[in-house]
């Protein structure tokens, strides 16, 4: 009998899970309910998939009733980040297991509330980290796990979001840090999870700096930039930093045509007043086992991708990924890909920077060698499909430990939560002390992941 699913929060991110249920995993999964505050969004997903014609549509306040009446086995949480903890806890207490889109939650009290609910109910929570499954990240994990570079002593990690993808966080609800915990949590949870997984260690202390340096009204005025219209959806010429929701059928249906119900505007000016999310962040993270991470995030780069260097006692591994070499114009179909890591951008590069990826390993007293990275097909280099198989079918034995649970989710957000506290106080923050949770790896099997 297929597992019965309800999904709460039917915005843009929900589609990956819904398409998996209706498509490759229809034999083991059945969607029985869609919950959202906005009826237009839940109706959009119901109407676009014939298999969903009979699903129950409801508001979030009806979650417990839906779980009981529809005999829901698992709830998929893809709502706004600040609501994750509430929806996770309510689903657990109503008798369902949970799959939650990263981040697990955005602050220490709600992290403790989730752990308490898991302890009380004995039910499971899976946090989805698709970057673990990307071939390039898997290849780096294999290098580290092989012992070729020795014991890890330090990690340098820089992630840059470009002026198309990075800017988008400052148009939508993420611009208000109280909704998302800022990019330290919403975006960087992916990055911190990668480091935690790569080196099989737990964050212990965080010192962070950062701020809003590029977006926002004050920064634009300081550079002499003329204000943009309040919204990007308008007739006439458009600035490169604007998003016209009419340029994408799905964005238009999910947001522009749904505004009448909740007033949410998806296309706000990135140079508007009231933005509280930082666009430049750095952190130094001490790990329990000794390694130190230096991390940097920039959300207004002219190109998008990341660079990682792992220093070990026997050598060094370096991974460079260029997901988009530049932002110059829209694609030929007139629609912008907001997340180049999820959608392959095939427009030719005009400059010396070329889209691609490279993993190089060099041991002491030896020449560097390039490690072959298998080619994947689909979102995040094929990682999405592998993740979804583990989520809906169930994980198989994985020597790399890619399947994740709520403790991985807690470790991933612990850096951002403590980073935000460090930003506020200017002081280093101890993870265990501030979160009030013991995130140490409890057994050898988990440490091997």
pLDDT in tens, 120-160: 999 999 999 999 999 999 999 999 999 999 999 999 999 99
Strands 203-211 vs 152-162: parallel, antiparallel or unpaired? unpaired
Residues 6+ apart with CB under 8 A from 230: 268, 269, 272
Longest dimension (CA), the chain: 66
CA–CA separation, 197 and 70 (whole Å): 37
pLDDT in tens, 210-269: 999 999 999 999 999 999 999 999 999 999 999 999 998 999 999 999 999 999 999 999
Partners of 429 in the β-ladder: 206
Burial call 191-201: b when 16+ CB within 10 Å, e when fewer: bbbbbbbbbbb
CA–CA separation, 283 and 205 (whole Å): 10
Half-sphere exposure of 223 (CA within 13 A, CB side): 11
Strands 356-363 vs 369-371: parallel, antiparallel or unpaired? antiparallel
140 and 308 Cβ atoms separated by less than 8 Å: yes
The count of residues in the chain is 449
Confidence of residue 330 (pLDDT cuts 50, 70, 90): low
Q: Which helix (H) or strand (E) holds 117?
A: helix 108-121
228 and 241 Cβ atoms separated by less than 8 Å: yes
| pLDDT for the residue 351 | 80
Residue 347 pLDDT greater than 70, yes or no: no
Sign of CA dihedral 320, 373, 407, 393: positive
Residues 6+ apart with CB under 8 A from 263: none
DSSP characters over 190-235: HHHHHHHHHHT--EEEEEEEEE--SSSHHHHHHTTPPPPPSBS--S
Q: If we measure between CA atoms, which residue out of 297, 239, 304 comes closest to residue 269? A: 239
Q: If we measure between CA atoms, which residue out of 91, 78, 15, 102 comes closest to residue 404? A: 102
pLDDT in tens, 186-212: 999 999 999 999 999 999 999 999 999
pLDDT in tens, 158-171: 999 999 999 999 99
pLDDT in tens, 48-74: 999 999 999 999 999 999 999 999 999
Residue 445 pLDDT greater than 50, yes or no: no
Confidence of residue 348 (pLDDT cuts 50, 70, 90): low
How big is the CA angle at 267 (ends 266 and 271), to the nearest 5 degrees? Answer: 125
Q: Which helix (H) or strand (E) holds 317?
A: strand 315-324
| pLDDT for the residue 449 | 43
Residue ranges of E strands in 348-415: 356-363, 369-371
Q: If we measure between CA atoms, which residue out of 252, 268, 305 comes closest to residue 170? A: 268
User: Which pair of tokens denotes residue 304?
Assistant: 């998008």
Residue 346 pLDDT greater than 60, yes or no: no
CA–CA separation, 168 and 162 (whole Å): 10
Residue 332 pLDDT greater than 50, yes or no: no
Q: How far apart are the first and last CA of the chain?
A: 31
């Amino acid at each position: 009998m297929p597992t019965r699913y309800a999904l709460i929060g039917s915005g843009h991110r929900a589609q990956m899970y819904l398409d998996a249920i209706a498509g490759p995993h229809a034999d083991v999964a059945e969607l029985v309910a869609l919950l959202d505050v906005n009826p237009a969004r839940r109706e959009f997903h119901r109407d676009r998939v014939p298999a969903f014609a009979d699903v129950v549509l409801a508001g979030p306040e009806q979650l417990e009733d839906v779980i009981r009446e529809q005999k829901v086995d698992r709830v998929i949480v893809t709502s706004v980040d600040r609501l994750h903890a509430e929806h996770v806890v309510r689903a657990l207490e109503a008798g369902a297991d949970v799959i939650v889109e990263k981040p697990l939650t955005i602050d220490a009290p709600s992290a403790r509330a989730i752990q308490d609910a898991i302890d009380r109910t004995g039910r499971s929570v899976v946090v989805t980290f698709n970057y673990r499954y990307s071939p390039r990240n898997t290849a780096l994990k294999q290098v580290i796990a092989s012992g070729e570079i020795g014991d890890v002593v330090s990690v340098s990690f820089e992630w840059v979001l470009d002026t198309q993808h990075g800017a988008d966080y400052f148009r939508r609800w993420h611009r208000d840090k109280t909704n998302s915990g800022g990019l330290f949590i919403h975006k960087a949870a992916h990055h911190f999870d990668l480091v935690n997984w790569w080196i099989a260690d737990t964050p212990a202390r965080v010192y962070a700096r950062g701020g809003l340096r590029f977006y926002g009204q004050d920064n634009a005025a300081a550079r002499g930039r003329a204000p943009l219209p309040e919204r990007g959806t308008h007739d006439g010429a458009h600035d490169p930093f604007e998003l016209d929701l009419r340029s994408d059928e799905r964005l238009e249906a999910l947001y522009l045509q749904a505004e009448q119900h909740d007033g949410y505007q998806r296309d706000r000016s990135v140079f508007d007043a009231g933005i509280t999310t930082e666009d430049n962040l750095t952190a130094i993270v001490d790990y329990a086992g000794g390694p130190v991470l230096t991390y940097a995030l920039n959300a207004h780069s002219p190109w998008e991708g990341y660079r990682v260097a792992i220093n070990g006692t026997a050598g060094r591994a370096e991974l460079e990924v260029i997901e988009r070499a530049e932002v110059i114009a829209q694609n030929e179909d007139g629609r912008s890909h907001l997340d180049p890591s999820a959608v392959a951008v095939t427009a030719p590069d005009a400059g010396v920077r070329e889209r691609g990826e490279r993993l190089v390993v060099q041991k002491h007293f030896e020449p560097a060698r390039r490690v072959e990275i298998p080619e994947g097909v689909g979102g995040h280099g094929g990682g999405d499909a592998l993740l979804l198989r583990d989520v809906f079918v169930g994980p198989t034995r994985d020597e790399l430990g890619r399947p994740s649970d709520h403790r991985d989710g807690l470790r991933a957000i612990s850096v951002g939560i403590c980073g935000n506290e460090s930003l506020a106080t200017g002081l280093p923050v101890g993870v265990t002390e501030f979160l009030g949770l013991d995130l140490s790896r409890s057994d050898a099997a988990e440490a091997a992941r």
